[in-house]
Amino acid sequence: MSSLEEVVVEAGKTVTLGCPGVTEDSLVLMLEWRANGMRLLEYKSRSTTVVRHFRDRMSMSLKNYSLQLHPVTAADSGMYECLVNNRNTPEAVIKLIVRGRWRERERESESFFIFFPALPRERRERERERERERSASSEKINRATLSLAQQ
């Protein structure tokens, strides 16, 4: 097994995890990055597939097959492995330690205002009323279903 490397990074920053000894000149038919035993990213037949949950926060360099996470959160802490060509021994084993906490909600709030412009007051009120009606209708259905189930 390759030696263990420890990488410490502050939450909210970008981190690059290297796969030493693997370059664009290496014969790489398949490469897999795992975290805590779970596959995050797979490179195969010149195509890279990233697990859906990480798709917008993860990328891989085809020059050195390093993994980049941006922005890192405390949940990203753990053991990362770079496996090449289905070998049992990883090319790299990295213990990632994320210090501090990064508030994802702040990022989402900023995105919300960028992508969703404010609605005029009347339209917002109509939208709220429709939502209340949908909730009331949904609640009636739930009560009817519960009533039928109890019979």
Range of the domain at 8: 3-99
Three-class SS of residue 95? strand
Amino acid 119: pLDDT: 53
Within 8 A by CB and 6+ apart from 2, the residues are 20, 89, 90, 91, 92, 93
Residue 68 lies in a domain: yes
CATH number of the domain where residue 31 is located:
2.60.40.10
Residue 137 lies in a domain: no
Residue 109, in any domain of the structure: no
pLDDT(51) > 80: yes
- Is residue 91 within 8 Å of residue 2, measured between CB atoms? yes
Q: Is residue 17 part of a domain?
A: yes
116 vs 14: which has the higher pLDDT: 14
- Condensed to tens digits (0 to 9), the pLDDT of residues 78-134 reads 999 999 998 989 999 999 999 987 665 444 444 333 344 455 677 777 877 887 887
53 lies in some domain = yes
Q: Nearest 10 degrees: CA dihedral of 57, 62, 65, 71?
A: -20
Instruction: Give 7's contacts (C-beta < 8 A, 6+ positions apart).
Output: 15, 17, 94, 95, 96, 97
Q: How many domains does the chain have?
A: 1
Angle formed at CA 17 by CA 16 and CA 18, multiple of 5 degrees: 115
78 in a domain, yes or no?
yes
Mean pLDDT of 139-148: 71
